[in-house]
Amino acid sequence: MKNTNRLLVIWNEKLVGILERHTKGRVVFQYSQDWLNNVEKPISLSLPCSPKKYSPAISTAFFENLLPENNARTILAFNRRFDKKDVFAFLENFGEDCAGALSIIHEERKIDFTSGQYECINTELTAALDKIMSNPGKYTLFPEMKKARLSIAGAQDKLPVYIEKDQFYLPVTSGSPTTHIIKPANAGFPDIPRNEAFCMELAHHVGLWVPDSRLMKIGTHELFVVNRYDREKTTRTINRIHQEDFCQAMGLPADRKYQKSGGPGFLQCRQLADEFLSDSGVDVRINFVRIMIFNYLIGNHDAHGKNFSVLHEPALKLAPFYDLLSTQVYPLDNKFAMAIGQTYRRDRISDHSFKKFALDMNIRPQKLDSLMVEMLQAVTKSYVPLLSEHEKKYGPSKIYTDLFEVIRDNLGQLKYLF
Q: Whole-angstrom Cα distance, residue 288 to residue 269?
A: 9
Angle in degrees, CA 379, 383, 389, rounded to 5: 150
Q: Does the residue 360 lie in any domain?
A: yes
Same domain, 221 and 283: no
Same domain, 407 and 278: yes
Same domain, 365 and 397: yes
The number of distinct structural domains making up the chain is 3
**pLDDT (tens digit per residue) in 156-188:** 788 899 999 999 999 888 788 999 999 998 777
Flag whether pLDDT at 1 surpasses 50: no
Same domain, 126 and 190: yes
Same domain, 150 and 222: yes
**pLDDT (tens digit per residue) in 357-393:** 999 999 999 999 999 999 999 999 999 999 999 999 9
Closest CA relative to residue 194, chosen from 213, 177, 207: 213
Q: Identify the three-state secondary structure at position 381.
A: helix
Quick check: 157 and 141 in contact, CB under 8 A? yes
Same domain, 270 and 394: yes
Domain boundary among 81, 106, 131: 106
pLDDT of residue 96: 85
Same domain, 154 and 303: no
Residue 362: CB atoms within 10 Å: 14
Q: Does the residue 112 lie in any domain?
A: no
Q: Does the residue 192 lie in any domain?
A: yes
Residue 289: CB atoms within 10 Å: 22
Per the structure, the complete domain to which residue 77 belongs is given by 6-106
With a pLDDT cut of 90, the percent of the chain lying above it is 69
Same domain, 276 and 412: yes
Same domain, 91 and 218: no
Domain boundary among 191, 207, 233: 233
Quick check: 154 and 306 in contact, CB under 8 A? yes
- Name the pLDDT band for 250 (thresholds 50, 70, 90): very high
Same domain, 200 and 337: no
Q: H/E element holding 11?
A: strand 6-11
pTM here is 0.93
Same domain, 351 and 283: yes
Same domain, 389 and 246: yes
Domain boundary among 207, 233, 259: 233
Q: Does the residue 262 lie in any domain?
A: yes
- Name the pLDDT band for 137 (thresholds 50, 70, 90): low
CATH, residue 339:
1.10.1070
**pLDDT (tens digit per residue) in 313-339:** 888 999 999 999 999 999 877 799 999
